[in-house]
Structure 1
Amino acid sequence: MFNQRKITFRSLFSPPALTITLASIILFACVIFPTGISFSKSKDYSSSSAQFGSYLAGRHAQFNSDPNFAIHYYLSSLKTNPKNLELRKRTIALMVSEGRINEALVQANFISKAGTENVDFITLLSALKNAKNQNFLSAKNKIKGLSNKGLNTFLLPMLQAWVLAGEKKYDEGLKILDRETNNDGLKTLFSVHGALICERAGRNKEAIKRYQLALKLRKSPNLRVTILLGNLYERMSKYDKATELYNKFKSELPNTTLLDGAYKRIKAKRKPVPLHTSARDGVAEALFSLASAIQTQNPFQTLIYGRLASYVRPSLSIANLLVAESLEENNRLLDANKVYSRIIKDPYYSWIVRLRIADNLDRVGETKKAIKALEIMAQENKQRVDALTNMGNILQRHKRYEESSKSYEEAKKRILQFKKRHWSLHYSLGISYERQKKWALAEKNFLMALELQPNQPSVLNYLGYSWVDQGVNLVRAEAMIRNAVKQRPR
């Protein structure tokens, strides 16, 4: 089976070429995950042994992707060694990664009271608590205490601009974001945040220009900017502009469901609510922006900043999506589904989130529930094929080839005109028929897949070797296999 499960949301959200150096990543990691944790030499050897045992148990749990158990053991160790600030920092980082921010803040108070150096992350937590409560003056004062190094180089300008916007000092905030930079990724980020601040200030024309600059710099499709600008166009009754913008995005990703709700609104001439209603929302957006930009470089840090964005603004769906993706990549599928369930009613993301929940259910052994969910979706929207193809993929994974071929065939019936992207449907259907020893039907679908995508290496390879095994079409089969081999990544 060819698995084209999903396009990650980060590929649709993140800015281009945001140059975040390895040094920045390492510096951040050292701040929140210190090395060289020591334990006090105590005359009570049983106590010392117990705390070290708890620490080792926590480390084992942490590196076996069980952070909540790790937190439990670290807290147990801290009870007998409360002055171990390095271990407390590690515990705080894990708490944040699990969304246990309020508990992390309690632990952060111990470090703040100790007056130690190198507590940027602790200061950031305190600043975000103030921003969440819309106490922007206190947040601004806290942010002043952050060092301008590591990932703060990218985050600080956005936070500074937003806390100023919270005090209605819009021009001061924009001045920070408009500083010269040669990094197109930063220009894109700051253009988007500048546009949002302009919206807060009631300067919609300037906001549009800034969004347009971000799209120009991004070049490839960017879902977040498209949604933000489209939302503004709709609220200004510029429905033609919004439709043109959405159509451009959809032309790049024709099978996407992400804009279906927007098209329905425009058809009904129903204006949407603003996606941002306060400077607090902007702070959350800044955290999300950084999280999405570093996802390929450090998934744990992405999880940290994604959780912080969700803490500041729990309803920020894109931050929850990012967190869920990070959990999926760590094979924590049930935890990912819990996060997905928070946004299952979001009009932009509901459909794709339901598809992912079903896929994750199957991967944790809940195949019946997964199939049932996809059957409901397939009946709910008979214009779409993805629920049926996903069902076919799941059935094929479990070697239920006859059932999978029926799902794929039903999907084919819904397609009025086959396009290049439909090669994978024919390829998957061909595999299901081949496994049922229905070669004529399998070959027909493989050839159709090649008609749609003539040089697709997976199809060339599968069909080529199938012909070789049967001793037919040997000259063509050899050429196809050679073509497939040439396309292998080196």
Structure 2
Amino acid sequence: MTRIQAFLACVSVSVLSACAAAPDARIPLRGAVGQNVRLFDTRTAYGQFLAGQAALRDGKSKEAASLFEAASTLGDDPGVLAERSFTALVMSGEISRAAAIAPNGPDTPEAIKRLGVLTRVVEALAVGKGKDAQALLKSDPPGFPHQQAAALLAPWAAAAAGDKDGAIVQPALRGDKLVQFFGQQGQARLFERAKRYDEAETDYKALTSDTTTASIFTLDYGAFLERRNRQADAVALYDSALRAAPNDTGLLRARARAVAKGAPPAAPTLRQGAAEGLVACAATFAGERQTQFALAYLRLALRLDPDRDEAWVLVGDLLNQNQDSRGAIEAYGHVPPGAPHYASAQSKIAWAWNDLGDKAKALEVARAAAKAAPDDRDAQVALADLLRANSQWSESVAVLDPLIAREAASPDWRLFYLRAVALDQAGRWPDAERDLKKALELNPDEPELLNFLGYTWIDRNEHVPEALVMVQRAVLARPQSGAMLDSLGWAYYRLGDYKAAVEKLEGAVELEPGDPDVNGHLGDAYWRVGRKTEAQYQWRRVLTLEPDEKQKTEAEAKLKNGLAAAGPATTSTMAHN
């Protein structure tokens, strides 16, 4: 899917002034009280407004909507409250309420008006008022940045309005690939709905023969073929796609269904078809880091298709990005057991619990997800990674072993890398080294692999000249990585080029000022070039950076004895070269 540049034009959360009013004892107080009263008085309309602004800025849309509503009840609406309430309601998924209050006055910002029109269109489609939706799109089409959504919704609104001719017109915006591709997908589905199967298949063939879009629309075309009782053709289509993506769970599941001649997915309803276009737009916004627009569009899509699992997963992902872990858990929880996205959603719930600090709950959920879907690759990988993050090294390896064995015919370097990290931490370096070499064989230019193996060799004083070349390549690929620059500096240190080591390690500390290892390495290099006071400063700094026991012990020993007893740090011939 082509990423289209979009600009955030309507969801400002800048603090604007509002009129304060006397508190109403009948309204429950919301927001901060007590310690935070010095920041804002939550018993006034203005206080509620400021609390709502803070909640909206923090991604807590539901809380923001309640606060804005309280502000409006407590005092006269200064105008901006309606705009903020509308925005918060859309972001929290209260689309019916948002459509009812969508601002449209002469002083309303144009951007808010446009989102309001789109919201009313979606609500009209959701309640079966296709003619109203079509009339709105024709009489008051929402402008930038909603042209894509308006174009993709138009045929579905026409179909809902009974306009058969309008329903099969492929939407177009000049140079807009998103509208071109998803408009053609919508046309294929509406042709199928009109029983014009040959024309539907022509559209599907065009979408799946284009390398840009084949992976996006193969499942749609395959489902169409299955609905036409052409299971053999569907299997051939899935097999072709699997040659490029042999581990794709969706393709594997679809192929198994077609081989068994099981019930194919039903053709989408009008509401479901309209929702898909909005999800495509949301994905574009998310790709451009316009997360508020992406979330608003996903909420609109879910108003049309509340059972759209992929949309709930994307909502959870966006909320997670905003550090709203509890909101993300709620969103992921909408995906029901047995659904294709269930294992993935449960794995994401596990990570959200981990972010909240409940590691036991996180591991409980991840283990349950992996057990419920033993053949789901994503669930197994998520469990292995979570176990690694919680220092359960051996269990992480045990989860990955059968997965790597199962995929021996099409190995994935990422799995070998993940297992290597766990093996190394479990004290099984020879096995970790084997996996890293295998991963590099599969992906020889991956900076993370070059740095991991290179640094470990350097730290172990093995293969240092070879490792230097590896970390140089890693730094060249990612010059702003403090960790990789530290590896390069440490390689020069091991080779006795302390001047070059200081130069690189000083740069690494600038990029990673809070890393105990990087600061410790710089201290060692300073000592070797005679800058002993600065060396001691760096070692003292290590003790302030939450070092682990090994880092703490080493720093304390250096502060007491320096590096005099350690002897030279150079290496001329490596035992394993």
| Bigger relative contact order, structure 1 or 2 (CA pairs below 8 A, ≥6 apart) | 1
Deviates more, 1:131-140 or 1:312-321: 312-321
Match of 1:431 in 2: 421
Distance 2:121 2:262 in 1: 38
Distance 1:444 1:34 in 2: 52
Give the secondary structure class of the aligned counterpart of 1:138. helix
Q: Does 2:157 correspond to 1:171?
A: no
Distance 1:245 1:337 in 2: 36
CA shift, 1:447, in A, is 2.2
Q: Could you say if the C-alpha distance between residues 43 and 478 of structure 1 is closer, same or farther in structure 2, counting changes exceeding 3 Å? A: closer
CA contact (8 A) 2:65 2:89 kept: yes
Match of 1:16 in 2: 2
CA shift, 1:269, in A, is 0.9
Give the secondary structure class of the aligned counterpart of 1:432. helix
Distance 1:364 1:43 in 2: 38
* Correspondence for 2:468 among 463, 478, 490: 478
CA shift, 1:302, in A, is 0.9
CA contact (8 A) 1:284 1:309 kept: yes
CA contact (8 A) 2:19 2:45 kept: no
Match of 1:149 in 2: 143
CA contact (8 A) 1:96 1:308 kept: yes
Distance 1:428 1:41 in 2: 56
Match of 1:340 in 2: 332
Match of 1:11 in 2: none
Match of 1:136 in 2: 130
* Correspondence for 2:457 among 467, 474, 478: 467
Match of 2:445 in 1: 455
Distance 1:56 1:21 in 2: 28
Match of 1:187 in 2: 180
Q: Could you say if the C-alpha distance between residues 285 and 435 of structure 1 is closer, same or farther in structure 2, counting changes exceeding 3 Å? A: closer
Deviates more, 1:93-102 or 1:365-374: 365-374
Match of 2:359 in 1: 367
Distance 2:6 2:327 in 1: 30
Q: Does 2:390 correspond to 1:390?
A: no
Match of 1:3 in 2: none
* Correspondence for 2:44 among 45, 50, 61: 50
Q: Does 2:276 correspond to 1:289?
A: no
Give the secondary structure class of the aligned counterpart of 1:315. coil
Q: Could you say if the C-alpha distance between residues 362 and 257 of structure 1 is closer, same or farther in structure 2, counting changes exceeding 3 Å? A: farther
Q: Deviations over 1:75-126 (max 9, x none)?
A: 2221244443322111111111111223324433xx46x6766433333333
Q: Does 2:190 correspond to 1:197?
A: yes
* Correspondence for 1:330 among 315, 322, 327: 322
CA shift, 1:20, in A, is 4.2
Q: Could you say if the C-alpha distance between residues 341 and 381 of structure 1 is closer, same or farther in structure 2, counting changes exceeding 3 Å? A: closer
The amino acid across from 1:429 in the alignment is R
* Correspondence for 1:271 among 260, 263, 269: 263
CA shift, 1:373, in A, is 3.8
* Correspondence for 2:18 among 39, 58, 70: 39
CA shift, 1:217, in A, is 4.8
Q: Could you say if the C-alpha distance between residues 136 and 49 of structure 1 is closer, same or farther in structure 2, counting changes exceeding 3 Å? A: same
Distance 1:360 1:47 in 2: 33
Q: Could you say if the C-alpha distance between residues 82 and 125 of structure 1 is closer, same or farther in structure 2, counting changes exceeding 3 Å? A: farther
CA shift, 1:445, in A, is 2.4
Deviates more, 1:346-355 or 1:460-469: 346-355
Distance 1:190 1:43 in 2: 53
Distance 1:237 1:166 in 2: 27
Query: Any residues of structure 2 matched to 1:221-300 within 5 Å, and which?
Result: 221-223=214-216, 225-277=217-269, 279-297=270-288, 298-300=290-292
CA shift, 1:60, in A, is 2.0
With normalisation by structure 2, the TM-score equals 0.72
CA shift, 1:243, in A, is 1.9
Q: Deviations over 1:237-285 (max 9, x none)?
A: 12232223323433333322223432232122123242312x2333323
Give the secondary structure class of the aligned counterpart of 1:356. helix
Q: Does 2:187 correspond to 1:206?
A: no
CA contact (8 A) 1:170 1:197 kept: no
Q: Does 2:409 correspond to 1:441?
A: no
CA shift, 1:322, in A, is 2.5
CA contact (8 A) 1:461 1:484 kept: yes
CA contact (8 A) 2:185 2:203 kept: yes
Match of 1:7 in 2: none
CA contact (8 A) 1:41 1:48 kept: no
Query: Any residues of structure 2 matched to 1:305-316 within 5 Å, and which?
Result: 305-316=297-308
Distance 2:118 2:278 in 1: 11
Distance 2:51 2:171 in 1: 49
CA shift, 1:352, in A, is 2.5
Match of 2:93 in 1: 99
Which one has the largest radius of gyration?
Answer: 2
CA contact (8 A) 2:42 2:51 kept: no
Match of 2:114 in 1: 120
CA contact (8 A) 1:419 1:452 kept: no
Distance 2:400 2:255 in 1: 28
Q: Could you say if the C-alpha distance between residues 398 and 97 of structure 1 is closer, same or farther in structure 2, counting changes exceeding 3 Å? A: same
Q: Deviations over 1:311-336 (max 9, x none)?
A: 12212233323322222222323322
Q: Could you say if the C-alpha distance between residues 163 and 440 of structure 1 is closer, same or farther in structure 2, counting changes exceeding 3 Å? A: closer
Q: Could you say if the C-alpha distance between residues 365 and 427 of structure 1 is closer, same or farther in structure 2, counting changes exceeding 3 Å? A: same
Q: Does 2:348 correspond to 1:356?
A: yes
Q: Which runs of 5+ in 1 are unaligned?
A: 1-14
CA shift, 1:306, in A, is 0.7
CA contact (8 A) 2:60 2:324 kept: no
Distance 1:385 1:198 in 2: 36
Give the secondary structure class of the aligned counterpart of 2:268. coil
CA shift, 1:191, in A, is 0.8
Distance 2:479 2:248 in 1: 28
Match of 1:12 in 2: none
